[in-house]
Amino acid sequence: MSIEWIIRIVVEYWPMFLRGAGVTLLIALIGTVFGALIGLLSGVLRTIPMPEKGSKRLLLKVVNLILSAYIEFFRGTPMIVQAMVIFYGAAMAFGYQMDPLIAGIVIVSINTGAYMAEIVRGGIISVDQGQYEAAQAIGMNHVQTMMNVVLPQVIRNILPATGNQFIINIKDTAVLSVISISELFFQTNSIAGNNFRYFESFFVVCIIYFIMTYTVTLILRYIERRMDGPANYVIAGEMDTAEDIKRKTTGA
Amino acid sequence: MAERRDEKMSTVVDIQGLSKSFGSHEVLKDINFSVNKGEVVTIIGSSGSGKSTLLRCVNLLEKPSGGQIIYNGENILDDKHNVHQYRKNLGMVFQSFNLFNNHNVLGNCVVGQIKVLKRSKEEAEKVAKKYLHVVGMDAYVEAKPRQLSGGQKQRVAIARALSMEPDVMLFDEPTSALDPEMVGEVLKVMKELAGTGLTMLIVTHEMEFAREVSDRVVFMDKGVIAEEGTPEQIFNAPQKDRTKEFLQRTRK
Q: Are B145 and B156 in contact (CB under 8 A)?
A: yes
Q: So what's the pLDDT on residue B36?
A: 93
Whether A3 has a pLDDT exceeding 70, the answer reads yes
Single-letter amino acid code for the residue at B61 = L
Alpha-carbon distance of A154 to B182, in angstroms, equals 31
A133 touches chain B (CB under 8 A): yes
Given a cut of 70, the residues of chain B with pLDDT beneath it are 1-9, 252
The residues, any chain, with a CB within 8 Å of residue A234's CB and separated by 6 or more, are none
Whether A134 has a pLDDT exceeding 60, the answer reads yes
Alpha-carbon distance of B88 to B117, in angstroms, equals 8
pLDDT digits (tens, 9 = 90+) for A116-129: 999 999 999 899 99
Q: Give the DSSP letter of residue A48.
A: S
Half-sphere exposure (CA, 13 Å, Cβ side) for B209?
23
Residue of B103, B115, B139 lying closest to A235 (CB–CB)? B139
Interface test with A, best of B57, B79, B83, B84 (most A CBs within 10 A): B84
- Give the neighbor-by-neighbor strand order of the sheet with B11-22: B25-36, B11-22, B66-71, B74-75
Question: What is the CATH topology of the domain spanning A3-250?
Answer: MetI-like fold (1.10.3720)
The verdict on a CB contact (< 8 Å) between B98 and A128 is yes
Instruction: Give the residue from A164, A166, A163, A162 showing the smallest Cα distance to A24.
Output: A166
A241 Cα to chain B: minimum distance (Å): 19
Nearest residue of A to residue B58, measured between CA atoms: A137
The verdict on a CB contact (< 8 Å) between B94 and A133 is yes
Q: For the stretch A122-149, what's the b/e string if a residue is b when 16 or more beta carbons lie within 10 angstroms of its beta carbon? A: ebbeebeebbbbbbbbbbbbbebbbebb
Nearest residue of B to residue A229, measured between CA atoms: B144
A50 touches chain B (CB under 8 A): no
The mean pLDDT value of chain A amounts to 88
Global pTM value: 0.81
The CA distances from residue B223 to A55, A153, A168, B95, B161, in Å, are 36, 37, 55, 20, 27
pLDDT digits (tens, 9 = 90+) for A168-224: 999 999 999 888 888 899 889 898 888 888 888 899 999 999 999 999 999 998 988
A139 touches chain B (CB under 8 A): yes
Alpha-carbon distance of A122 to B244, in angstroms, equals 48
Give the ipTM of the model, two decimals please.
0.89
* Residue A243 pLDDT class (50, 70, 90 cuts): low
The residues that bridge with B33 in the sheet, in sequence order, are B15
The verdict on a CB contact (< 8 Å) between A138 and B85 is no
The verdict on a CB contact (< 8 Å) between A235 and B140 is yes
Whether A238 has a pLDDT exceeding 80, the answer reads no
Q: So what's the pLDDT on residue A117?
A: 93
Chain A hits for B139, CB-CB cut-off 8 Å, are 235-236
Q: So what's the pLDDT on residue A99?
A: 87
* Residue A244 pLDDT class (50, 70, 90 cuts): low
For residues A128-146, give the mean pLDDT.
Answer: 94
The verdict on a CB contact (< 8 Å) between B92 and A131 is no
* Residue A37 pLDDT class (50, 70, 90 cuts): very high
Q: So what's the pLDDT on residue A172?
A: 92
Q: What share of chain A is helix, strand, coil (3-state, %, to 5)?
A: 85, 0, 15
Residue of A149, A232, A235 lying closest to B100 (CB–CB)? A149
Chain A hits for B160, CB-CB cut-off 8 Å, are 138
Chain A hits for B111, CB-CB cut-off 8 Å, are 148-149
Positive or negative, the CA dihedral A117, A38, A132, B151 is: positive
Interface test with B, best of A132, A138, A140 (most B CBs within 10 A): A138
Q: So what's the pLDDT on residue B6?
A: 47
Whether A250 has a pLDDT exceeding 90, the answer reads no
Whether A252 has a pLDDT exceeding 50, the answer reads no
Chain B hits for A236, CB-CB cut-off 8 Å, are 139
Domain boundaries, chain A: 3-250
The verdict on a CB contact (< 8 Å) between B142 and A230 is no
Residue of B96, B102, B164 lying closest to A152 (CB–CB)? B102
A153 touches chain B (CB under 8 A): yes
Instruction: Give the residue from B211, B212, B203 showing the smallest Cα distance to B234.
Output: B211
DSSP A199-213: HHHHHHHHHHHHHHH
A157 Cα to chain B: minimum distance (Å): 11
B28 Cα to chain A: minimum distance (Å): 21
Chain A hits for B98, CB-CB cut-off 8 Å, are 128, 130-131, 133-134
Pairing of strands B40-44, B200-203: parallel
Chain A hits for B144, CB-CB cut-off 8 Å, are 229, 233
B95 Cα to chain A: minimum distance (Å): 10
Q: So what's the pLDDT on residue B5?
A: 42
Interface test with A, best of B115, B118, B147 (most A CBs within 10 A): B115
Q: Are A28 and A173 in contact (CB under 8 A)?
A: yes
Segment 200-229 of chain A within 8 Å of chain B by CB: 229
